[in-house]
Amino acid sequence: MPTLSVHHIGYLVKKIEKARQTFLALGYHIEKDIVYDDIRKVNICFLTKDGYRIELVSPATEDSVVAGLLKKYKNSPYHICYETADIETAANDLTTNGFIAIDTPTPAPALGNRRVVFLTSAFAGMIELLENNTLS
């Protein structure tokens, strides 16, 4: 299994600008301001605090991939993203530990078009893998 390093916690929000203002009031700093991901039809913003990075994710349309999740979870953390040097091998190895891939590695416009893939486990919920070819 390639090394997995925590990159961010994904946080579903209904209204991204109000959420951003609220997280700023909590002492977070904007790392990357709101970017529209036209593949997933979501708005995304990265914030940091105390060495933690969170990703605000908000559906931009009714048919966004996260619109249904938002109805279910409301404003809530919903995935942890792990960086890895080898996204294909990591995804493959995780499937032998009960994870099921729910999409295929696809560029993420909010992350410099590095590829991400989402997987889910009956026991650990949803995770995201993010490729980082500079990791050893």
* Chain residues in the site for Ni ion (CB under 5 A): 10, 55, 81, 128
Nearer to Ni ion (CB atom), residue 66 or residue 96? 66
User: Least distance from C-beta 98 to Ni ion, angstroms?
Assistant: 21
CA distance linking residue 118 with residue 103, whole number of Å: 6
User: Least distance from C-beta 44 to Ni ion, angstroms?
Assistant: 8
Calculate the alpha carbon distances from 21 to 9, 26, 46 in Å. 18, 9, 13
Nearer to Ni ion (CB atom), residue 37 or residue 55? 55
Nearer to Ni ion (CB atom), residue 91 or residue 96? 91
User: Least distance from C-beta 67 to Ni ion, angstroms?
Assistant: 16
CA distance linking residue 4 with residue 29, whole number of Å: 25
Location of structure tokens 């970017």 = 35
